[in-house]
Amino acid sequence: MSLAPRNDWPPTPAPASAPERVSPMRRLRRRLRPRSRPRFKGPSFNRMIPNIMTLIGLCAGLTAMRYALDARFGAAAIAIAVAGVIDGLDGRLARLLKAVSRFGAEFDSLSDFLCFGVAPAFVLYLWSLDRAGGFGFMPCLMFAVCMALRLARFNASLDSAPSHAYAYNFFTGVPAPAGAGVVLLPLFVGLEAKALGWDWLLAVARHPLVSAVMLVGTALLCISTLPVWSFKNFKVPSEYVLPTLLGFGLAAALLVADPWAAFALGGAAYLGMLPFSVRSYRRLQREAEGPADAESEPA
């Protein structure tokens, strides 16, 4: 049996298919099609702004200590004032952006301790109390410890609401930024006296005993249970709106013209406000407890 040779061996390869033609319009659509971007997990940048402001305030407090080491006490006082302004804005901004968090509250307290507990005492020690040696360090140590206790009590009170509605408008004790402004009152008076050439007033303001009394007194005010206006929900009657705006305008003009006199008057005005704050709290307390006492009395 003979086998005839096969004509299809070796097999011929199949002809290659022609490449698919893509129209220019389809190519253009592919290029213009939006690319998918990766999704990152984490908070938005807007919610980080309050913490960034707190960080800037912390840097301002550290800068105040550096200026005090260089004997630039005016610049140190301004740096602490800048930290106080930032501390008053970061909390309100966090509530406005709905970025309130436990981390932000703890970070703010740590920043407040350095800016308003350590830095003012450090500045006053280098400005006045270093001449008293170890005894001059004792008031600074007491002020820093009392400020830490005041901030710890404030953090502990965040988890519990006040017993009465009127208590929302009051702090328990002098708050940390206000305490720093009050304790620096001898420095403000001394800088103003130096600018005016009143050497006798500068000598009095720079005496270690004056700074020690201010440190100890302000420390006791911070850890006290004194009710102090918080100005969070403070309402101005309509007939006092224009006088209030005029007063703030005059205060701003005085701050620009003579900052040390403005800071000194502000600290003195805050101290003079404390008795009125206590009177207002007691009046609200009597009004809140009055109806309950009347109902408990027998007919």
With contact defined as beta carbons under 8 Å apart, do 184 and 77 qualify? yes
Domain containing 271: what range? 46-157+164-239+255-285
Determine, yes or no, domain membership for 9: no
Residue 16 is predicted with a pLDDT of 53
> Is residue 224, in this structure, part of any structural domain at all?
yes
User: Is 207 domain-assigned?
Assistant: yes
Which residue from 120, 125, 119, 117 is spatially nearest to 144, judged by alpha carbons? 117
Q: Which pLDDT score is estimated for 284? A: 81
Total domains in the chain come to: 1
pTM listed for this prediction: 0.79
Rounded Cα–Cα distance for residues 214 and 274 (Å): 16
- Confidence at residue 39, expressed as pLDDT on a 0 to 100 scale: 65
Regions in the chain scoring below 50 on pLDDT: 1, 293-299
The CATH number of whichever domain residue 176 belongs to comes to 1.20.120
50 in a structural domain? yes
- Per-residue confidence (pLDDT) for residue 294, from 0 to 100: 45
pLDDT of residue 127: 92
Distance CA 299, CA 292 (A): 14
Residue 263 counted as domain residue: yes
pLDDT of residue 118: 93
Cα(27)–Cα(31) distance, rounded to whole angstroms?
A: 6
